[in-house]
Amino acid sequence: MKEPKYLVEDLYTADPAAHVFNGKLYIYPSHDIETGMPENDNGDHFAMRDYHVYSMEEIDGKVTDHGVILDVDDVPWSGRQMWAPAAAAKNGKYYFYFPLKDKNDIFRIGAAVSDKPEGPFIAEKHPIMGSYSIDPGMFEENGEHYMYFGGIWGGQLQRYRDNKAIEVGAEPADEEPALCAKVVRMADDLLEFAEEPKDVVILDEDGNPLKAGDHDRRFFEAAKMHKYKEKYYFSYSTGNTHLLCYAIGDNPYGPFTYKGEILSPVVGWTTHHSICEFKGKWYLFYHDCKPSGGKTWLRSVKFVELEYNEDGTIKPLDGMS
């Protein structure tokens, strides 16, 4: 497939996490719900309260909606706003990760477990110890699982330094190093961190960390990892400049050297994605707001084939297509 295609039309979905389990493609999106609340930079107009999961046996085949796999009322520590999720599998168990504000309106990352990739999932009684901010993205290699996470502004990453909350959270000055996404290796049970989260450092062409004022290239949210031809591709959203970009490194921790754009701006403010190989081809899953007439809080997941150049760079795509 060369033209983008929407996943479903009967529900507003966003922030897709695409995973292959048991030969099927599973997409775990967030769920946008009309609120009538004015938009703001904290994302209060996103009243997302549950998750569905969808599956496909072929990329152009039937899409099966497996229904609600987790609701905010199913999470013992829940407050509000279930944002972009992710999933993983190990030893016949399936793990679902989700950012959710606790009862103090602070984002934590929760975990839930099921015997099936389509759920339903049972949430743990507490968020992952040491977790904060938003947008978990999962990567597995040689039996080890890594979580990438973080998001500034409404995602609250600016409130932390060195994995600790600070008194007055703010972005660094323009000439200071940009805030970094985080990467952490998961414990054997996939329910806790096995270490302290580390910075995902993105370097420019001269080997210097990107600056906070470099809004066209610096990390904002949607931290994702995939591997292609022995190289590690860290992809992410630039947020207020509405780009999907990527950087390449030699291991899951980085550092990563900035390489370019994957997707130009879409209709709508937010840009969030995942990249997945399925039956020998690569696909980009993302969202836009065309079906809702451009309402930025009512998004729809779409997907398109992703292609690479001979040198391993990604062929950029037009977000308006």
Q: Do 99 and 135 touch, CB atoms closer than 8 A? A: yes
Does the annotation mark 307 as catalytic? no
Closest CA to 9 of 290, 320, 271: 290
Query: Quick one: tokens of 175?
Result: 């000439």
User: How far apart are the C-alpha atoms of 58 and 20, rounded to whole Å?
Assistant: 11
Alpha carbons within 13 angstroms on the beta-carbon side of residue 232 total 20
The letter for the amino acid at 239 is G
Would you give the distance in Å from CA 238 to the centre of its chain?
13
- 221 is a catalytic site residue: yes
| DSSP output for 169-218 | --PPPTTSBPP-EEEEEBPTTSSSBSS--EEE-EE-TTSPBPBTT-TTTS
What single-letter DSSP state applies at residue 319? T
Residues with Cβ within 8 Å of 239's Cβ and at least 6 positions away in sequence, in order, are 152, 153, 215, 220, 221, 271
Q: Rounded CA gap, 134 and 17, in Å? A: 14
| Catalytic annotation, pick one of 32, 199, 221, 288 | 221
181/179 Cα distance (integer angstroms): 7
> Per the residue annotation, which of 9, 15, 34, 41 is the catalytic one?
15
Which three-class secondary structure state does DSSP give residue 158?
helix
Burial label, 173 (beta-carbon count in 10 A; 0-12, 13-18, 19+): exposed
Active centre residues (catalytic) = 15, 221
